[in-house]
Amino acid sequence: MKQVRLAAISLMLIWCTGYVTVPRMPFNVRAFGATGNGTTKDTAAFQAALDACAAAGGGMVIVPAGNYLIGSIELKSRTILLLQPDADLLGSPDLADYPIIQVRWEGKWIDGHRALIFAHDADRIAVVGPGKISGNPALGGRQMPRRPVIIEPINCTNVQFKGFTTEHHSMWSIHPTYCENVIAENLTIRSTGGNGDGIDVDSCRHVRIEHCDIATGDDCIALKSGRGLEGYRIAKPTEDVLISRCTLADSIFACIGIGSETSGGIRDVRIEDCKFTRARTYAIYIKSRPGRGAFIENISATNLDVATAPGGFLRVNLLNSGIQDPEPVPGDEGIPAAKNYSFTDVKVDCGTLVDAAAISPVKPVDGFSLVNINGMCRKAIALANMTHVELRDIHVTGYAGPFLTQTNVQGAGLDEAKN
């Protein structure tokens, strides 16, 4: 097992350094003065090790077993931060240890505290477990300037997060922004309290979230792309996202939230082979409102097990989700365009199966497919303002009221949806 792990790390080192010449020996934070005693701040030692690694052309910074109290640190290009077994990083409780920079928050660029682990304009960076990273619980919440998240790469390429655990309270855990080629794999993410999202993907391209176990206070995974005219003009979509083989549970909101900050557009999202063990509202919630503009398109989900979702399996709300921006995209241009939504092979035990009635008649959803759905629900399906709908092989029991309510809906299987 140890040899397999060393081989995997060697391969990652080759990936991370881009085949450049690097020192054979890794940089150990202990050699730079880190104590790991849990009370002495080791921020300077960590940063010195990371800076030395970057100056040498890249490589690996090792964090051996210990309890490390740190403030914000910065990863630079071609650097792997390796958290060995029983290596625990804990964020400092002092806000002064997190410098104020420009951060993306709820779709806007504002002043905020830098993340515990931060990167900017970096290429080929990685954080690798099996260690643990905890944000300080004293620093959660919605106070401004924005409180620090755990990990936040901004405008980075080739980013990998593998095999570690995070813990936080009332603040986001991982927030890639303006990034490309992002992999989050085999992570265990835990958070409590409102605002305690797991992974928030913000105007990023080519993202894979696989084999992750995420249990959060708020959204497990959220996809965003800016709010109002600012996000619309910047026009950086979140696109080409795969969420696969994950186990998801939330205690306040949705497991997977798409929006409501969608002004740069969201498209080409695939959700596959996931288990939803608890969804406080909906397992999947697609949300926006007039004033956002742009598009939410090509969303597919297949082979899902929705074990417990008191709110429901799926909600689509494009009329009134999220706060209105002070500078909304005006007129009909500000109504998000929605098309090509497909949900197949789903097992459910939920409240409402589908609530997709909050959609503007000015821009109906063009393409909505619900196929091979089995299980139990308390309410069934409500649709409005849709074209090219397909309802087929839906076998659910336990619901009260009509199976399907529809307004301005066109498509196949509307009369025969329940066989």
DSSP string, 373-410: EEEEEEEEEEEEEEEEEEEEEEEEE---S-SEEEEEEE
Task: Give the integer Cα–Cα distance in Å for 142 and 323.
Answer: 15
So what's the pLDDT on residue 186?
98
How far, CA to CA in Å, does 314 sit from each of 134, 274, 306, 411?
31, 14, 10, 19
Query: How far is residue 415 CA from its own chain's centroid?
Result: 37
Task: Give the integer Cα–Cα distance in Å for 14 and 23.
Answer: 12
Task: Give the integer Cα–Cα distance in Å for 218 and 28.
Answer: 35
So what's the pLDDT on residue 2?
52
Is 16 in contact with 125 (CB distance < 8 Å)?
yes
Provide the residue type at 71 as one letter. G
Residue 13 pLDDT > 80:
no
Task: Give the integer Cα–Cα distance in Å for 266 and 250.
Answer: 22
For residue 306 the two structure tokens come to: 């929705």
* 3-class DSSP assignment, residue 145: coil
Confidence at 21, pLDDT banded by 50, 70, 90: very low
Encode pLDDT of 369-394 as tens digits.
999 999 999 999 999 999 999 999 99
Encode pLDDT of 167-191 as tens digits.
999 999 999 999 999 999 999 999 9
**Count of residues for the chain?**
419
**Can you state the percent helix, strand and coil of the chain, rounding each to 5?**
10, 55, 35
Nearest to 205 by CA among 274, 118, 268: 268
So what's the pLDDT on residue 135?
98
Higher pLDDT, 258 or 416: 258
For residue 180 the two structure tokens come to: 């490309």
Confidence at 308, pLDDT banded by 50, 70, 90: confident
Least confident range of 13-27, 109-123, 355-369, 401-415:
13-27
Task: Give the integer Cα–Cα distance in Å for 415 and 343.
Answer: 19
Confidence at 415, pLDDT banded by 50, 70, 90: confident
Confidence at 20, pLDDT banded by 50, 70, 90: very low
Query: How far is residue 404 CA from its own chain's centroid?
Result: 32
Average pLDDT over residues 200-214: 98
For residue 184 the two structure tokens come to: 């989050």
* 3-class DSSP assignment, residue 228: helix
Q: For 3, list phi and psi in degrees, rounded to 5.
A: -65, -40
Q: For 137, list phi and psi in degrees, rounded to 5.
A: -65, -20
Confidence at 17, pLDDT banded by 50, 70, 90: low
pTM of the predicted structure, to 2 decimals: 0.95
Confidence at 25, pLDDT banded by 50, 70, 90: confident
**Residue in the block written with tokens 């509202």:** 281
Strands 108-113 and 100-105: antiparallel
In the chain, the domains with their CATH numbers are 109-412 (2.160.20.10)
Nearest to 262 by CA among 296, 230, 285: 296
Percent residues over pLDDT 90 in the chain = 90
Average pLDDT over residues 341-346: 98
Confidence at 4, pLDDT banded by 50, 70, 90: very low
So what's the pLDDT on residue 3?
46
* 3-class DSSP assignment, residue 367: strand
Q: What is the mean pLDDT of the chain?
A: 94
Task: Give the integer Cα–Cα distance in Å for 363 and 313.
Answer: 24
Encode pLDDT of 152-165 as tens digits.
999 999 999 999 99
- Residue 400's CB is within 10 A of a number of other CB atoms, namely 8
Provide the residue type at 302 as one letter. T
Average pLDDT over residues 26-33: 97
Burial of 3 by CB count in 10 Å (0-12 exposed, 13-18 middle, 19+ buried)?
exposed
Residue 15 pLDDT > 70:
no
How far, CA to CA in Å, does 364 sit from each of 314, 319, 345?
17, 11, 25
